[in-house]
Amino acid sequence: MTMIFGIPLQAFLGQLLIGLINGSFYAMLSLGLAVIFGLLRVINFAHGAQYMLGAFAAMLMLQYFGINYWFALILAPIVVGLFGAFIERTMLSRLYNLDPLYGLLFTFGLALTIEGTFRYLYGSSGQPYAVPAQLAGGTNLGFMFLPIYRGWVVVVSLVACIGTWLLIEKTKLGSYLRAATENPVLVQAFGVNVPVLLTLTYGIGAGLAAFAGVLAAPIYQVSPLMGSNIIIVVFAVVVVGGMGSIMGAIVTGYMLGIAEGLTKVFYPEASNIVIFVIMAIVLLLRPAGLFGRDA
């Protein structure tokens, strides 16, 4: 059997793939956080809860309405996005003139409420969500066995990340968003409806989190706790990447996911904390983050 650094190649590649999968979710979630933060100056603590809502929406749609994975992949983000837009319009928008910490505290409360409600209704244990038939099974790449669904997640998340990046960097809507990030008052004076833009941004961010949630449903169990488990790691990712750049958030997400996977191979005990350790090191060496501009 081929060995690499004293580890069987199979195990090495297997963990690398798991790292890549985790990295895909970190990338999608930190991307959403960065987009929301860029415009709203709010750290969306409820991002994890919205990710969990996406997974639950997919599961409940299947259970009660027989809506399959493919439709759920489109419908769940829309539902959660609308919910997010509603929250932004009715409550979050009242906090923009205050210290940004209030936005963090508000969304923290929102996350607790959502998580608590789902725990009350569905218990804390995870429930399975079947891999769609079209993506079931795996393929032998010669050097390793690749479950098709996992390959699909990596590809789709890349597409979603690049798509969002293109939306922000290359479209008219994106140019409004970027302009409003720099100077909302001026953009409003030019006749752009900034409040609607803010609502839209929060909705899109929440929708993106839900999209990641639907993708995650067949891999991890659908559980009310899945959001809070991931959100703290994503915060660390965001700190490492610095929220100044969208691309930075994406790249850091994948990098740290892979770093976590590799740690599982070489020193499993530290795999839970490696991302936090990297965060601390980055802060000591480059306080603004790898891609950040000094705030």
> Which is nearest to 203 in space by CA: 112, 39, 83, 40?
83
Q: Taking CB under 8 A as the rule, does residue 195 contact other proteins?
A: no
- For position 29 contacting other proteins by CB under 8 A, the verdict is no
Classify each residue of 233-263 as buried b or exposed e, where b means 16 or more C-beta atoms within 10 Å of its C-beta: bbbbbbbbbbbbbbbbbbbbbbbbbbbbbbb
Give CA–CA dist 197/181, Å, rounded.
Answer: 11
Q: Torsions phi, psi of 138, nearest 5?
A: -150, 180
For residue 260, the minimal CB distance to other proteins (Å) is 12
Part in contact with other proteins (CB under 8 A); list of ranges 11-19, 99-107, 158-166, 179-187: 99-107
Task: Work out whether 156 is an interface residue with other proteins (CB under 8 A).
Answer: no
CA 166 → CA 170, 171, 182, 249, distances in Å?
5, 7, 18, 14
Binding residues with other proteins: total (CB under 8 A): 44
CB distance 4 to 12 below 8 Å: yes
Work out whether 122 is an interface residue with other proteins (CB under 8 A).
no
Least Cα distance to 76 among 62, 87, 90 occurs for 62
x/- track of binding to other proteins for residues 38-77 (CB under 8 A): -----x----------------------------------
Find, among 1, 101, 6, 24, the residue nearest to 261 by Cα: 24
198 binds other proteins (CB under 8 A): no
Q: Which stretch binds other proteins (CB under 8 A): 11-19, 111-119, 197-205, 250-258?
A: 111-119
Task: Build a one-symbol-per-residue string for 274-293: x at contacts with other proteins by CB under 8 A, - elsewhere.
Answer: -xxx-xx--xx--x------
Instruction: Provide the binding-site residues for other proteins, judged by CB under 8 A.
Output: 37, 43, 91, 94-95, 98-102, 104-106, 108-117, 119-120, 228, 232-233, 235-236, 238-239, 269, 272-273, 275-277, 279-280, 283-284, 287, 295
